[in-house]
Amino acid sequence: MTLETSPEHPGVGTIRLNRPPMNALNRQVQAELVAAAEEASVRDDIKAVVVYGGPKVLAAGADIKEMNDMSFADMSKVAGKLQDGLGAIASIPKPTVAAVTGYALGGGLEVALGADRRIAGDNAKLGVPEVLLGVIPGGGGTQRLARLIGPSRAKDMVFSGRFVGAEEALAIGLVDEVVAPDDVYDAALKWAGQFAGAASVALAAAKTAIDAGLDTDLTTGLKIEAQLFASLFATDDRTIGMESFVANGPGKAKFTGK
């Protein structure tokens, strides 16, 4: 697991899953995901994040061999950490995108579900096949999948354990863009790169407003929005953005991220 940046894509950090051959997400990788997400969250030079598993696979799931001998008592102690690890991308207060090539199954799909956007290769296979092992998705899959594609479609995927191809995934809203496999990472970098000079505090507020609002009723969501909107008037970027708009029109502000 690495958190990488490159001069070619300033402002974009890549969380790279790297546990060949299939990027099985064992407890060590889960802890590394949490650490990488925390680092990406606090680094001022990173404005947006890509999560990527390489050209052949995002991740084919949690490490079943590691779970095979665990009892109820054993899993009860670590189930929360499993959710924290596989859902770590969702905790990043910046735009995030999952670049999906090949398989994103079980925990691999749960990692991708934590991103704000998913770009998939036309060879992608996505699914939550845990029921075929006698369990259910335990890394946030039952919750994030239902919120993303609706309960009926989520139940179909969870109940059957079937794999969804790229075109169906696009049709049901499971992914947002389908490209050639060789273009997946570049497409993700391009999407993330548009935020390199954005008002990052405002982006964080927008993300919090949407995510927190979806977890409550409309009236409470509107109150969350109002509070976050007002709070941005304490930022340098609000002053810079509005003064630039008045003087030069839209889209020309040079934000500082403060």
Annotated catalytic residues are: 62, 107, 110, 130
- Say how far apart CA 220 and CA 213 lie, in whole Å: 7
| Contact indicator for 26, 66 with CB cutoff of 8 Å | yes
| Contact indicator for 59, 53 with CB cutoff of 8 Å | yes
| Contact indicator for 210, 72 with CB cutoff of 8 Å | no
Residue 118: how many CA atoms within 13 Å on its side-chain side?
A: 33
Give me 155's structure tokens: 């139940």
- Say how far apart CA 26 and CA 152 lie, in whole Å: 30
DSSP lists the bridge partners of residue 119 as 99, 177
Give me 58's structure tokens: 């995002």
